[in-house]
Amino acid sequence: MLWRTNALRMFGAVVVGIGTAGWVRIRDMLTPHPGSPAEKLAVRGFISRRNLDNQQGVSQISVEEAVSRDDIHAAFICTENESHQDYVRTFLQAGKHVCVEYPMTMSYQAAVELWDLAQKKGLVLHEEHIELLTEDFKELKRAVQGKILQEGTLHFTGGALKAGFGFPAFSGIARLTWLVELFGKLSVSAATLEEEPAKGYSKLTAKLLTSDNRPLTWVEERQTGLPRAKNINFVFDSCTLSEIPAAPRGAVGLFMQDLIHFSAKLAGQVSPSQLQGEKERVLHCLELADKIQQLCQS
């Protein structure tokens, strides 16, 4: 019954943080995919640490106003990674649903606590994962399916990280999530971090094991000016995959796909088993990131 009621109602939302992601969130709520549950979301304001003019016709409001307004039911947390968890907690405590850009938190324990809070309050807590929605990833997943892994490497390169984006195992959670989605639950056997701050250089190397004890290496390498790329080498008993299969872009943008998924959760259209599966995946990846950080710092 509650599901049916939710399917019909509108959800007012606030966007926190007007960077690239926050700007796209506002745009997507103003022009939702026709016929999708995202049409049930209405952006009512944005929050920023800066004093900004209206953004795409939407006005700035304070955190205090957002948490106390009855016509705001959900918050999009689009700030830099290190401030996600405090905003998520503030909005959950105020009884608002939350969509947070990845990574949700900077520690496994904080994520467990936030998820408990959401459950206690009967709220949707959703972590955006647009890198699972790319056509390239969907093709890769199809290519890997049914094959037996012997060993593999995923090497990511990209520009230097901006301040506030956190330890590389967390800022790179999208790559770790790829490995978990492709090969199932993992454990961490070793991890190291090389850093040359003057050059904006960092290289995280994590040694992982699948549940069948097959080794996977995840490298997250960043330096000012380094092109953004993902290189793979997955050795299976039948063949080797050394390139991510190229696939044409999908018709619906990645953030829009994520918005549709979040709004379907709000409308009660996502099954409890799928919700539970996502929660377990998010927590597992954050637990791995935590362990990698501990090993690098020990």
User: Using CB under 6 A as the criterion, which residues of the chain lie in contact with ligand NAD when the complex forms?
Assistant: 17-22, 48-50, 78-81, 101-102, 130, 162
Smallest distance, ligand NAD to C-beta of residue 227, A: 16
Write out the DSSP string of 160-200.
PPPTTS--HHHHTHHHHHHHHHHH-SEEEEEEEEEEEGGGT
**By C-beta, is 17 or 152 nearer to ligand NAD?**
17
Smallest distance, ligand NAD to C-beta of residue 298, A: 26
Please tell me the distance from the alpha carbon of residue 52 to that of residue 19, in angstroms, as a whole number.
Answer: 12
Smallest distance, ligand NAD to C-beta of residue 162, A: 6
What backbone torsions phi and psi does residue 240 show, to the nearest 5 degrees?
A: -125, 135
Q: What is the DSSP-derived secondary structure letter of residue 102?
A: S
Smallest distance, ligand NAD to C-beta of residue 24, A: 7
| C-alpha of 183 from chain center | 18
**By C-beta, is 38 or 78 nearer to ligand NAD?**
78
Beta bridge partners of 154: 218, 232
Q: Which single residue brings its beta carbon nearest to ligand NAD? A: 19
**By C-beta, is 164 or 277 nearer to ligand NAD?**
164
Burial 144-165 (b: 16+ CB within 10 A, else e): beeeebeebbbbbbbeebeeeb
**By C-beta, is 18 or 110 nearer to ligand NAD?**
18
Tell me the torsion sign for CA atoms 17, 18, 24, 28: positive
Smallest distance, ligand NAD to C-beta of residue 78, A: 5
**By C-beta, is 17 or 32 nearer to ligand NAD?**
17
E strands, 83-160, in order: 97-100, 125-127, 149-158
